[in-house]
Amino acid sequence: MEGAIGPGRRGRAELISREADRYRQCRGLPVPSPIAASYRRSVDRPGNPAAEAARTPGGGTVRSGAVTCGGGGSPVAWMLIGIRRAEGTVAAAPDRLPQKVYEQELLRLQGELVKLQEWVRAESARLVVVFEGRDAAGKGGAIKRVTEYLNPRVARIAALPVPTERQRGQWYFQRYVEQLPAAGEIVLFDRSWYNRAGVERVMGFCTDEEYQQFLHQCPTFERMLIEAGILLRKYWFSVSLEEQERRFRSRLEDPMRRWKLSPMDTESITRWEDYSRAKDEMFAHTDLPGSPWNVVESDDKRRSRINMIAHLLSSIPYREIEKPPVELPPRPPSKGYRRPPRDLQRYVPDHAARLEQADGADGRTAR
C-alpha cells in the first residue's frame, strides 16, 4: 500500500488536489471524479485493510483501519470514507440526544452518584473507575460530569503526568498503586496503567519485553485489587475516525481548548490502525470475567455520558444511606466584637462594578 499510493511517488500538485478533495469530503461535498476514482481503485482493492474496515457489520461508521500513506496516514482513509458516504454505504453519525432529555437524565443520574458516594463512605468501600479510549473520545467530559456534585475529598481524579526518571526505574504499576483509594474513597483514573498497552506500545516508549511483561502481569494485578475488596470498573470510549478528526479541528480553532491538542493527539491521526491493533491485543489479554472492559460509543457525547454513568450505577449494589437531619442552631448574641476598619485590609479591586458602569454607558449611548 505504501509503495502504491505514498506521497513520495506523486507530485506536489496532486498532493494539494488530494487534500482539497479531503476537505470537500469532510463537508459532504462532491469529490472531483479523477481523484476519487484513482483512490477508489488504489484503496478499495481486495485485501486492503481500509476497505475491509469500511465494510463494518450493519453499515456502521468506520471504527478502525486508517491507511498510512508513507508516513502520512489519515488522508486516504478519509478519502475512502467520503466516497462511501456519498454512495450511502457508510452511516452518518447518530443524532444527538435532545438537550432537554440529556440534562434531565444527567441531573437524575448525578443525584444517584451522590447516593453512591455516601454509600462508599458509610460502607468504607473502595471504588476504582478506569477511563481509557481514543484521543478526543470524551473521557474528560464524562469524568467532569461524574464528579460535578461529588465531594472532592471522597472522589478524586488521578491523571498522572509523564513518569519521572525515578518512576521509570520502579515496578511499572508502582506509581498507580500509590493512587489507589483508601476505605471510603473513589478514584477515577483519567488514563491508567493501560498507557503501556496503548500509547507506549504504539509510540515505542516501551520495549517489546516490557510490553509482554505488562500483558502477563496486568490480569494478576487487577485480580489482586479485586481480591483485596476494591470495586474495579473499566470503560473504553470509542470514537469514529470522522468524529475524532472533527473534534481535533474544533480544538485547533478554539483558543480556549487548544491546549487539549497535543503532539500525541496529532500522532494518533496518522497511527489510527496501529492504535486499533494495540487496543485489540489489549482486550484479548485483559477483557476478563472479573474485570471486563465496557465499551462506550461516544460519537454523541451526551449519549456516551448518560450510558456510562447509568452502567456504572447499575453495576454497584449501593443503597441510599439515611443521614440524620441537620438543623441550623440559633445565632448567639454578640459579645462585643468589633470589626477592624476596612482600610486596614487589602481588598481586591471591584472589577464587577467597572463592568456595570461600562455596560450602563454603552446602554445610554445605544439609546
Q: How far is CA 345 from CA 130, 170, 341, 353, 354, in A?
A: 47, 50, 8, 19, 21
Give the homologous superfamily in CATH for domain 99-314: P-loop containing nucleotide triphosphate hydrolases (3.40.50.300)
DSSP assignment letter at 15: H
Domain with CATH 3.40.50.300 in the chain: 99-314
What is the residue-level pLDDT of the chain in tens, covering all 367 positions? 333 334 444 444 454 455 545 544 554 555 553 444 444 444 444 444 444 444 443 333 333 333 333 333 344 444 444 444 444 444 455 589 999 999 999 999 999 999 999 999 999 999 999 999 999 999 999 999 999 999 999 999 999 999 999 999 999 999 999 999 999 999 999 999 999 999 999 999 999 999 999 999 999 999 999 999 999 999 999 999 999 999 999 998 999 999 988 888 888 889 999 999 999 999 999 999 999 999 999 999 999 999 999 999 999 999 999 989 999 999 999 999 999 999 999 999 999 999 999 888 776 655 5
Q: How far is CA 234 from CA 41, 144, 342, in A?
A: 41, 17, 54
The sign of the torsion formed by the CA atoms of 216, 222, 226, 229 equals positive
pLDDT of residue 268: 86
pLDDT of residue 4: 39
CB-count exposure of residue 182 (10 Å: 0-12, 13-18, 19+): exposed
Strands 155-158 and 185-190 come out as parallel
Q: How far is CA 330 from the centre of its chain?
A: 48
DSSP assignment letter at 181: -
pLDDT of residue 355: 94
pLDDT of residue 117: 98
> Nearest-5° angle of CA 21, CA 67, CA 11?
50
Q: Cell match 439515611: residue?
A: 322
Question: First vs last Cα of the chain: how many Å apart?
Answer: 67
